[in-house]
Structure 1
Amino acid sequence: MGYYLRRTAQAILTLIIVVSITFVLFRLMPGGPIQAMKNRLIRQAAATGTAVNIDRINEMVELYTGIMPDQPIYIQYINYLRDIILYQDFGESIRYSQPVFDILFEAMPWSVFISVYGLALGYTANILLGAVMAYKEGSRFDQISTVGSIFLNSIPYYVGAIVLLAIFAYDLEWFPTGGRYNTDLDPGFNVFFMISILRHAALPILSGFIVGFGGRALSMRGNSVRILGEDYLRVARLRGISSTRIATRYVARNAILPMYTNLMIGISAIFSSSVILEYIFTYPGVGWFTFGALKARDYPLLMGSFLFFTTITIIGILIADFTYGIVDPRASTGDQDEAF
């Protein structure tokens, strides 16, 4: 129990440190977002011939960012954390004139949908391919698959996304070129709407499937080949244990273990890559809003998106810490002085 409490405390501390560093950079860097927003509002007031009211400008900055510019920085920081923790108030988006939390909360399920499915399909395919490559080590299939895996792993994910969009959406017109679903349909739990969601998500999911494809297959192959040479497998064969049981209970399970932590961390990686993927496919998820906020200098929305990605990363690592001992009972839970 002490191990889990320590890990949870470390995760919370890490999140607070990241938020603190981001807040300080956000507030104090020369010509930073707060000052830039303040200057923009002053210019807008001057352009319309309205008298510049600094108090009113400061109130508008606080409305958008949750930060009162004239307050001491430690007061700003306390108020900022209070608004996030107690009220889930990340400020208001300059571009959309909506609360940042509402925008991200509405977009999050769509990003989770395409990211998790892409990651799950990618890992499943890579594990199966790597296992077959190891089983047929040295064969023509192994050689061709190795070369193909290295080639696919060297292609940037955004290049693959653009190629898929150009071929399957624009040339063949098999899939839509953007959006989350057909806006002509009535949203709801009906067949046509569900099919529309799947058709619009197909290319982003396939792109997520391609991200890192090949590299994980080579890792699985290397782990499996190493395990195939272990003495306990020779003993298992001498005991007359079937090849199927050896492949599933001995080889596959032990070969997957080193990839488990990478799977959890890969969740955050797939979310971060979605910033470009969602923009390419015009898929309004968290990544799409993040890219738009970056272009429009929508700092409150950009800050909220950054905290979202940070939280996802920390949660993924925390889940890996908590569950690795279940996946591999040989690993210590940290209650003893063992490194793992």
Structure 2
Amino acid sequence: MRYVTQKVLFFVVCLWAAMTLNFILPRMIPGNPALAMFAKFQGQLNPQALHALELQFGFSHQPILLQYVNYLKSFLTLHWGLSYTYYPTPVATVIAHSLPWTIGLVGTATFIAVVVGTVLGIYISWRRGGVLDNTLPVATMFLQAMPYFWTGTILLFVFAFELHWFPLGHAYSNTVTPGFNGPFIASVLRHGLLPGLTVFLGSLSGWVIGMRNNMVNTLGEDYVIFAEAKGVSTWRVMSSYAARNAILPQVTSFALAMGLIVSGSILTEVVFSYPGIGFQLTNAVLSQDLPLIQASFLIIAVSVLVVNLIVDLLYARLDPRVRQGGETH
């Protein structure tokens, strides 16, 4: 119980720190979107219109402490102001439309990479010294060394531009009606295959090599050697004795990866014009859309903190030594 309380308190403190920084940093930037919009009209708007725009964008001339209190309230009520890029659309609406695309694309690709990489890592460690053990890590490291945008550009050029097997961008075709229907789902899968493959190829190496190294270390433990000496079947030694203990570090790495899913693969989404949170964040930066930037970074920070909290609690469940160590200090 003490371990859980410590982790929850740590989460609350980190969340408060992230929210406070997210409040302070944008206010250190001179100017605001209302002034930029006002300048486009070359003085055709009166000061009352400028004041109305400032209120809509959430800018206030109130004391900083009162602004901070209002900011915390707006965070809890999801009232994050209006987007400058998509004015007058609320920032919460923009994020609500883009976040599912990122989670669906990057989350699915990452999950498949974790499963495939973990299985391959277990296999090549058991067959270490073989052909796959000598070639697969090198091949996957070569793919991971290539920047995401470069891999995506190559796939886009070859399979979409030259061969016309896949669309050049976006999340689905304009000819289908969004909804839970066959044509729409097929279009989403077809549009998401190349960007998903880009994320998969770029992240596979870490899971393969990480699991292989964990397995090699675990296979040298006394209890594994003792199980083999007792005549335990190869499959049971590999899965129940070695892999079960070697997979614990993978859980931590998977948690960190899941937390970063919300931030998306920004360059991949830009290359494929995929309407995820990374693509929207890029547009917000180029347009100096401070409300959307602020809300996006806050969503990313909160997601990372929440996932880390869940994994800390799950890790203590999987390995009681972690919980016992936290309770003795």
Mark yes or no: TM-score above 0.5: yes
1:13 shift after superposition: 2.1
Match of 1:20 in 2: 20
Are residues 330 and 5 of structure 1, via their aligned partners in 2, closer, same or farther at CA, if it must alter by over 3 Å?
closer
> Which is further off, 17-26 or 185-194?
185-194
Q: Distance in 1 between matches of 2:180 and 2:206?
A: 38
1:212 to 198, 203, 206: 203
* 2:282 counterpart of 1:286: no
Match of 1:95 in 2: 85
Q: Distance in 2 between matches of 1:42 and 1:213?
A: 48
Tell me, yes or no, if the aligned pair for 2:264 and 2:277 is still in contact at 8 Å.
no
Letter in 2 for 1:228: L
Tell me, yes or no, if the aligned pair for 2:260 and 2:300 is still in contact at 8 Å.
no
Match of 1:67 in 2: 59
Are residues 189 and 333 of structure 1, via their aligned partners in 2, closer, same or farther at CA, if it must alter by over 3 Å?
farther
Letter in 1 for 2:112: L
* 2:154 counterpart of 1:192: no
Q: Distance in 1 between matches of 2:143 and 2:321?
A: 34
Letter in 1 for 2:198: S
Count of residue pairs the alignment pairs up: 328
Are residues 334 and 92 of structure 1, via their aligned partners in 2, closer, same or farther at CA, if it must alter by over 3 Å?
farther
Match of 1:259 in 2: 250
Are residues 287 and 107 of structure 1, via their aligned partners in 2, closer, same or farther at CA, if it must alter by over 3 Å?
same
Tell me the TM-score normalised to structure 2 length: 0.93
Which structure 2 residue ranges, 5 or more long, are not aligned?
A: none
Q: Distance in 2 between matches of 1:90 and 1:118?
A: 30
Q: Distance in 1 between matches of 2:16 and 2:299?
A: 13
Match of 1:308 in 2: 299
* 2:215 counterpart of 1:224: yes
Q: Distance in 1 between matches of 2:235 and 2:297?
A: 46
> What is the 5 A alignment of 1:1-340?
1-29=1-29, 31=30, 35-45=31-41, 47-50=42-45, 52-53=46-47, 55-64=48-57, 66-68=58-60, 70-85=61-76, 87-97=77-87, 98-332=89-323, 336-337=327-328
1:329 shift after superposition: 4.0
Tell me, yes or no, if the aligned pair for 2:152 and 2:195 is still in contact at 8 Å.
yes
Query: C-alpha offsets along residues 138-160 of structure 1, whole Å, 9 cap, x if unaligned?
Result: 22321112321321221122221
Q: Distance in 1 between matches of 2:107 and 2:34?
A: 39
- Between the two structures, name the one with larger relative contact order (CA 8 Å, sep ≥ 6): 2
Q: Distance in 2 between matches of 1:333 and 1:191?
A: 51
Letter in 2 for 1:205: G
Tell me, yes or no, if the aligned pair for 2:103 and 2:264 is still in contact at 8 Å.
no
Which structure 1 residue ranges, 5 or more long, are not aligned?
A: none
Q: Distance in 1 between matches of 2:188 and 2:39?
A: 43
Q: Distance in 2 between matches of 1:56 and 1:73?
A: 23
Letter in 2 for 1:206: L
Query: C-alpha offsets along residues 10-33 of structure 1, whole Å, 9 cap, x if unaligned?
Result: 21221221111121111134x2xx
Task: Describe the SS at the equivalent of 2:299.
Answer: helix
1:326 shift after superposition: 2.5
Q: Distance in 1 between matches of 2:305 and 2:215?
A: 29
Task: Describe the SS at the equivalent of 1:272.
Answer: coil
Q: Distance in 2 between matches of 1:80 and 1:282?
A: 32
Tell me the TM-score normalised to structure 1 length: 0.90
Q: Distance in 2 between matches of 1:334 and 1:105?
A: 40
Letter in 1 for 2:67: Q
1:273 shift after superposition: 4.5
Tell me, yes or no, if the aligned pair for 1:67 and 1:80 is still in contact at 8 Å.
no
Task: Describe the SS at the equivalent of 1:213.
Answer: helix
Task: Tell me the percent identity.
Answer: 31
Q: Distance in 2 between matches of 1:100 and 1:288?
A: 14
1:231 shift after superposition: 1.1
